[in-house]
Structure 1
């Protein structure tokens, strides 16, 4: 079993953005590469959960494993992606990042790692009172809780967090967590 696996969630449909956010660019580089490169600063074990249609358009990402959501949870959001990785690849901890945070940096991940402790099921940043469940560390023991949520179709990350032991790390700088959801946000913050 590995100590840490990095997960990039790139399975969303990007409806509000109008095209796959993973392929949007900042400084000529696809958003997904910012997540992959940031995870590589803490682990060489990178798994990308990707929608099958998106995979063929992604840039080359060496030494990363690509998977899709497992049945019967295909298309059920971040919990399905997280569970799909946990079901196929064993690790003690899983560091999760979305594919649409082009300002993320390794400093954030290293802060979260400082709080790794067996008493926590998850370690999450809380930025100006807003939790960040998709920039987080999850312990392997949450796998069964996630499965239970998926089976009951309770797909909210909040439901999961309400039922596990979470360590929240208060941070101030919002920029690393800025996810780009619309073309207007892209024009305002990235261009």
Structure 2
């Protein structure tokens, strides 16, 4: 089982690559790697990114989006990594702009996935906020690979195009007894400022 850190976005709203923004003197991607590593769940943690910023990471392994799927969003990163590591039982996907993800959340979601994997033949298990799925904090089975490939060759590169066509289930974020910001995306500089203020309290 491997973890995929999606770090290939343009970060236009943030103004700079989010992967290298910092909280408590740790870059986002480093912080997430440390959390994933402490779970002792993954035999490999992979960064998925683009060719423009790949040299800025002090880490290995890194997978660059396949050129044929360049600029096609998170699906390109997931698919390219699945192709690079094709023999995994499960893939955990986490967006790099969710740097406050916790071990507890990952472990709970894994248990949820395993409980539903056999009986429900679940393909994707992720979190949801209210009725809104969060497919960038989710486990994906290898069966999703072909559906992702189909989406990438269509005009709809959305994650919804994948999870709505597969067996998926979602664990409510409120099931995790952690500060509410653990699953929040940091999209703007003011989001980061707000998070830092909360952490200081």
TM-score when scaled to structure 1? 0.91
Equivalence map 1:20-35=2 (5 Å): 20-35=17-32
Number of the residue aligned with 1:93: 90
Per the alignment, residue 9 of structure 2 pairs with 12
> Higher relative CO (CA 8 A, sep ≥ 6), structure 1 or 2?
1
Q: Find the counterpart in structure 2 of residue 175 from structure 1.
A: 181
> Residue 160 in 1 paired to residue 156 in 2?
no
- Which runs of no fewer than 5 residues in structure 1 stay unpaired? none
1:86-116: CA deviation from partner (whole Å, max 9, x where unpaired)? 1120211100011111211111111111122
Separation (CA, whole Å) in 2 of partners of 1:71 and 1:109: 31
Instruction: Say which SS state the counterpart of residue 104 (structure 2) adopts.
Output: helix
- The alignment's C-alpha RMSD in Å is 1.4
Name the structure with the higher helix share: 2
Aligned residues: 185
Runs of 4+ that moved beyond 4 A: none
- In structure 1, the partner of 2:66 is 70
The residue number in structure 2 matching 1:144 is 146
What are the superposed Cα offsets for residues 41-73 of structure 1, whole Å, 9 maximum, x if unpaired? 221311111122222222x33xx3101111310
Tell me whether 175-184 or 18-27 shows the greater mean CA deviation: 175-184
Write the distance in 2 (CA, Å) between the matches of 1:39 and 1:78. Answer: 19
Deviations 1:132-159 (A, max 9, x none): 1000000001100000011012111111
Query: In structure 1, how many angstroms separate the alpha carbons of the residues matched to 2:128 and 2:99?
Result: 18
Matched with 2:50 is: 51
Name 1:189's counterpart in structure 2.
195
Task: Pick one of 111, 116, 119 that aligns with 1:114.
Answer: 111
Give me the whole-angstrom Cα distance separating, in 1, the residues matched to 2:195 and 2:2: 30
CA contact (8 A) 2:125 2:140 kept: yes
The equivalent position to 1:102 in structure 2, one of 99, 103, 117, is 99
TM-score by length of 2: 0.87
Counterpart contact for 1:34–1:104, Cα < 8 Å? no
